[in-house]
Amino acid sequence: MGCATKIFIGIFNYKFIRIVLKIGTNVIITPKGGLDTGKLLDIAQDVLSLKNSGHEVVLITSGAVAAGKILAPALSSVHRKVLAAIGQPLLMKSYETSFKAVGLQTGQCLLSKSDFFSREMYNNATASLTGFFEAGVIPVVNENDVVAASSLNFGDNDSLAAMLAIAVKADVLLLLTNQPGLLSGDPHKDKDAKLISVVTRVDKEIERLCSKTMSESGRGGMISKVKAAQQAVFAGVTTFIADGRERHIIKRILEGGEIVGTRFISCAVGNLNEQKRWLMASKGFGQIIVDSGAADALRQGKSLLMPGVLAIKGFFEPGSIVEVASGGEIVSYGKINYSDKDLQAALLLKHSGGSVKVVIKKEVIHCDYMIILK
Ligand code: GLU
């Protein structure tokens, strides 16, 4: 969809495009901490023009915790979940009012990571969102902060946005924040920092550019946006990171014809069947580092076995979808048969010369439940 060109050619000439919009806290909360109703109306107007052109939109918004602080200023961020519980109704009401003003109906959709855990739950969550499209209602999604377990939560809505974009087969994902996009340096320290307008591949150099000081009030920062973009483009979703505070930014990006924000060019791994789409969408935060021999074997369609595992990062349970990496490159996503604790125990045994077969009796990841990314 216009991805090979330097300048995005836009979507308005296309008949039917599905778009996922992620709105960061710093886009809709003013510097003084209030809800920016003018911005909400601007978003609603842009969504209306997309809808009038026959396109479908999923909106993911942060801001529940910040809205909670408006209503309960005495509560500190230690009470994050309580603040989210207080703020989510205000956030939702504000969206509802702004969207109603342009004639659009919104509906709240709170999701937790566990809603993607099994294939069945993922199918249910995806079907619910499809129901919104059929009903002509704009789903306004946020993480269900109140019930999210800290080891299981999305951590930031960027990751949730990538998951949903893949799950609903979106064509475009917009991650709107308080930065013009990915910059060549930290604008607080480097006056010459420039916008990187196109990224064809997320590599170590791109990750290095994600200074933590960029995008401060959201939880994720720039690195989580770039990681989300990487996940989405693997599944064929063209992704933008842009400054959501600019007027009618959504429409401007999607109209194409000008350089706005950073565009991550999609590099689909081929036709995704439903199982592969689930694997792509539901990737959690676990990572398995493997040696080059194991990486080659995976690329040849083999399963991942314990001898090839060098290290593990993050938390996961049997059945979680994890990332497999080698030499700093992501090789695949796959459904793992063991927990992080089991694999740590096996690695300890491996290093002390013991038999890992005591803990690991089958493949770490079976090839039928793996998708190779490169
Ligand atoms: N779900 C959180 C909220 O609504 C935001 C997480 C994030 O910063 O992305 O406040």
The whole-number pLDDT of residue 6 equals 67
**Which tokens hold the place of 283?**
């990737």
pLDDT over threshold 50, residue 306: yes
CB 91 within 8 A of CB 61: yes
Mean pLDDT of 251-263: 92
pTM score, whole prediction: 0.90
Ligand 1 contact via 156 beta carbon (within 6 Å): yes
pLDDT tens figures, 70-108: 999 999 989 999 999 999 999 999 999 999 999 999 999
Ligand 1 centroid to residue 235 C-alpha, Å: 24
The whole-number pLDDT of residue 9 equals 76
Greatest CA span in the chain, whole angstroms? 68
Ligand 1 contact via 35 beta carbon (within 6 Å): no
The whole-number pLDDT of residue 1 equals 44
Q: How far is CA 206 from CA 184, 236, 261, 262, 373, in A?
A: 9, 19, 15, 12, 18
CB 218 within 8 A of CB 24: yes
Higher-pLDDT residue of 139, 283: 139
The whole-number pLDDT of residue 168 equals 95
What does 168-236 look like in DSSP terms, one character per residue? Answer: TT-SEEEEEESSSS-BSS-TTT-TT--B--EES---HHHHHT--TTSS-SSSSHHHHHHHHHHHHHHTT
Helix (H, G, I), strand (E, B) or coil at 13: coil
219 pLDDT band, cuts 50/70/90, is: low
CA distance 233 to 264: 7
Question: Percent of the chain scored above 90 by pLDDT?
Answer: 67
* Sign of the dihedral defined by the CA atoms of residues 61, 64, 70, 76, in that order: negative
For residue 72, report the phi and psi dihedrals to the nearest 5 degrees: -130, 70
The whole-number pLDDT of residue 211 equals 61
pLDDT tens figures, 329-367: 899 999 999 999 999 999 998 888 877 777 788 999 999
The whole-number pLDDT of residue 150 equals 64
CB 41 within 8 A of CB 101: yes
Give the position, in ligand 1's atom list, of the atom nearest the Cα of 218: 8
Radius of gyration over every alpha carbon of the chain, rounded to an integer in angstroms: 21
The whole-number pLDDT of residue 2 equals 39
Q: Is 274 exposed, middle or buried (0-12, 13-18, 19+ CB in 10 A)?
A: exposed
Ligand 1 centroid to residue 302 C-alpha, Å: 39
Ligand 1 contact via 112 beta carbon (within 6 Å): no
Nearest residue to 99 via CA among 144, 146, 50? 50
The whole-number pLDDT of residue 55 equals 95
**Which tokens hold the place of 352?**
């002390």
List of domains in the chain: 11-264 (3.40.1160.10), 282-372 (2.30.130.10)
Other CB atoms within a 10 A radius of the CB of residue 205 amount to 8
152 pLDDT band, cuts 50/70/90, is: low
CB 231 within 8 A of CB 31: no
Q: What is the mean pLDDT of the chain?
A: 89
198: β partners: 263
Length of the chain: 374
The whole-number pLDDT of residue 355 equals 79
Ligand 1 contact via 94 beta carbon (within 6 Å): no
Give the position, in ligand 1's atom list, of the atom nearest the Cα of 224: 9
CA distance 276 to 122: 12
Ligand 1 contact via 145 beta carbon (within 6 Å): yes
* Sign of the dihedral defined by the CA atoms of residues 102, 178, 56, 162, in that order: negative
Give the position, in ligand 1's atom list, of the atom nearest the Cα of 25: 8
Ligand 1 contact via 69 beta carbon (within 6 Å): no
The whole-number pLDDT of residue 184 equals 87
pLDDT over threshold 80, residue 217: no
3 pLDDT band, cuts 50/70/90, is: very low
| Most ligand 1 atoms within 8 A of CB, residue of 21, 88, 145 to mutate | 145
Mean pLDDT of 259-270: 87
